[in-house]
Amino acid sequence: MRVGFIGFGEVAQTLASRLRSRGVEVVTSLEGRSPSTIERARTVGVTETSEEDVYSCPVVISAVTPGVALGAARRAGRHVRGIYVDINNISPETVRMASSLIEKGGFVDAAIMGSVRRKGADIRIIASGRDAEEFMKLNRYGLNIEVRGREPGDASAIKMLRSSYTKGVSALLWETLTAAHRLGLEEDVLEMLEYTEGNDFRESAISRLKSSCIHARRRYEEMKEVQDMLAEVIDPVMPTCIIRIFDKLKDVKVSADARLQGCA
């Protein structure tokens, strides 16, 4: 088995390590890549090759930054004859555009659920599109892929909807706990939420707030994409407020002794 990667960031590294540990040959092109990417690929034991050779693999996984995902599909489009798996964090609409660029090969929309760094749990990948079943064959080599939805774009829509909910929860938490903090009632409100929302509430709330502050700019951009996506199916209400919260959070400095609300 031979799997080609376009891009070699954290997602590619994680998937490639698993595939390598099951004896799969993983290839990527490192031409013009940063020293850290080259180092990462070599650590995993990836075979360095040409772009054309990557495209010739039966499975080609595109794991690049969202902004260049469409360009990557365009470059690969004429060459790929196996299946092109777009695992990038892009909107369902962009996925469908990428799909239309793969001229002869198959296409799979794939999305990683939760964090790729998720500890103690298998990285769960959901996949949609005609060739998703074909991609699922990599489960023999240590991946954890399941087919969800039907069309390309469905897997990305599921991921986006899930993450729009969790981003909204973070925004709510931040506003609620900021008000509580101003009233000197932060600990009390948190304890009451723990009481009604479950035992792991505090831990997950703190982790969400920290992460929201650190990644506020990215979440802000992502929420705008969510808003556009929702606007195709409903008249969305919540994103306007959530976007405004992340807009505020962009300017909040996370202090070393970050308070409970993550960014005091």
List interacting residues with its own copies (CB under 8 A): 113-114, 124, 126, 148-149, 154, 157-159, 161-162, 164-166, 168-169, 171-173, 175-176, 178-180, 182-185, 188-189, 192-193, 195-198, 200, 230, 233-234, 236-238, 240-242, 244-245, 248
Q: Is 46 annotated as a binding residue?
A: no
Q: Which is nearer to its own copies, 1 or 193 (CB)?
A: 193
- What tokens appear for 70 in the block? 């469409």
Nearer CB in complex with its own copies: 79/167: 167
The smaller minimum CB distance to its own copies, of residues 141 and 201, is found at 201
Residue 58: CB minimum distance to its own copies, A: 27
Task: Using the minimum distance from each CB to its own copies, give the nearer residue, 21 or 139.
Answer: 139
Q: Judge contact between 209 and 262, C-beta under 8 A.
A: yes
User: Is 237 known to sit in a ligand binding site?
Assistant: no
Q: How far is the CB of 145 from its own copies (least distance, A)?
A: 14
User: Can you tell me the distance from the alpha carbon of 27 to that of 105, in angstroms, rounded to the nearest whole number?
Assistant: 18
Buried b (16+ CB within 10 A) or exposed e, 89-127: bbbbebbbbbbebbeebbbbbbbbbeebeeeeeebebbb
Tell me the C-alpha distance between 109 and 107, whole Å: 7
Does 64 belong to an annotated binding site? yes
CB of 154 to its own copies, least distance (A): 6
Q: Is 199 known to sit in a ligand binding site? A: no
Residues 56, 82: Cα–Cα separation, whole Å:
7
Classify residue 171 as left (phi > 0), alpha (psi -120 to 50) or beta.
alpha
What is d(CA 18, CA 16) in angstroms, rounded to the nearest whole number? Answer: 5
Q: Which parts are annotated binding residues?
A: 8, 10-11, 33-34, 37, 64, 75, 88-89, 116
